[in-house]
């Protein structure tokens, strides 16, 4: 008997479906990707990425406004940064999906499509729900882009653990470097704008 597919984000019930995806990637990520339906539309993962980004941006902005801003100019800059984070998140996930697709095609073989990899990474991005907590940011990013993508490659493409690890690492390194430079660029804008 076939197991049901892993939960996906649904626009008809966004909060419950998003909670189901988050529960899957945090409580049983192996099972989540073992039963993951890789083919399908990228619309739902894009909307899921946006929803997670909105939650993170609002919570992070609240922290910054309460504890780290001294002026209206700083509050405005923080608000612009939060908006940029939300707007750019689906694009950044797309760029990172391209890096992982290249890695998958190199180490796993001629499998996968951009849509499949975007779907995997889009749902793995759910781990970024913890990104608003300052100390946890690096762990959330690593969990999403290394640990969950390792499991995704391993179980969606039914490859060995070693191949999945190498594939995930070769996708993770450029993803991490790109993400660090993007973070520095966005936060660097705050230092260049006049107060």
Q: Tokens for 22?
A: 């988050």
* % of the chain surpassing 70 pLDDT: 93
- 155 Cβ partners below 8 Å, 6+ apart? 30, 33, 34, 36
Q: Tokens for 127?
A: 């781990």
Q: In this predicted model, what pLDDT tens digit does every residue of 77-96 receive, in sequence order?
A: 888 888 988 999 999 999 99
For residues 26 and 22, what is the distance between their CA atoms, to the nearest angstrom? 6
For residues 25 and 39, what is the distance between their CA atoms, to the nearest angstrom? 18
Of the chain, the end-to-end C-alpha distance in Å amounts to 63
For residues 109 and 104, what is the distance between their CA atoms, to the nearest angstrom? 7
For tokens 């479906």, the residue is: 17
For residues 89 and 56, what is the distance between their CA atoms, to the nearest angstrom? 11
Q: What is the dihedral of CA 38, 148, 26, 41, to 10 degrees?
A: -20
Residue 158 φ then ψ, to 5°:
50, 60
Angle at 172 between CA 192 and CA 137, to 5 degrees: 55
* pTM given for the model: 0.89
pLDDT at 193: 45
Q: Tokens for 157?
A: 């493409």
For residues 162 and 67, what is the distance between their CA atoms, to the nearest angstrom? 44
pLDDT at 2: 59
pLDDT at 74: 82
pLDDT at 187: 62
Q: In this predicted model, what pLDDT tens digit does every residue of 13-54 receive, in sequence order?
A: 999 999 999 999 999 999 999 999 999 999 999 999 999 999
128 neighbors 93 (Cβ within 8 angstroms): no
Q: What is the DSSP letter of 187?
A: H
> Helix, strand, coil % (nearest 5) of the chain?
80, 0, 20
């Amino acid at each position: 008997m076939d197991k049901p597919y892993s939960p996906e984000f649904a626009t008809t019930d966004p909060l419950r479906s998003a909670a189901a995806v988050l529960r899957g990637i945090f409580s049983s990520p192996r099972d989540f990707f073992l039963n993951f339906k890789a083919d399908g539309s990228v619309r739902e993962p894009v909307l899921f990425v946006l929803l997670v980004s909105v939650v993170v941006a609002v919570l992070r902005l609240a922290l910054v406004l309460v504890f780290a801003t001294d002026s209206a100019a700083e509050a405005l800059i923080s608000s612009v940064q939060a908006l940029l984070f939300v707007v750019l998140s689906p694009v950044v996930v797309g760029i990172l999906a391209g890096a992982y697709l290249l890695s998958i095609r190199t180490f796993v073989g001629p499998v996968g499509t951009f849509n499949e990899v975007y779907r995997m990474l889009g749902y793995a991005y759910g781990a970024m729900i913890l990104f608003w907590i300052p100390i946890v940011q690096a762990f959330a990013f690593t969990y999403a882009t290394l640990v969950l993508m390792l499991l995704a490659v391993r179980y969606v493409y039914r490859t060995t653990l070693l191949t999945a690890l190498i594939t995930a690492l070769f996708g993770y390194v450029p993803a991490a470097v790109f993400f660090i430079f993007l973070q520095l660029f966005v936060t660097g804008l705050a230092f260049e704008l006049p107060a």
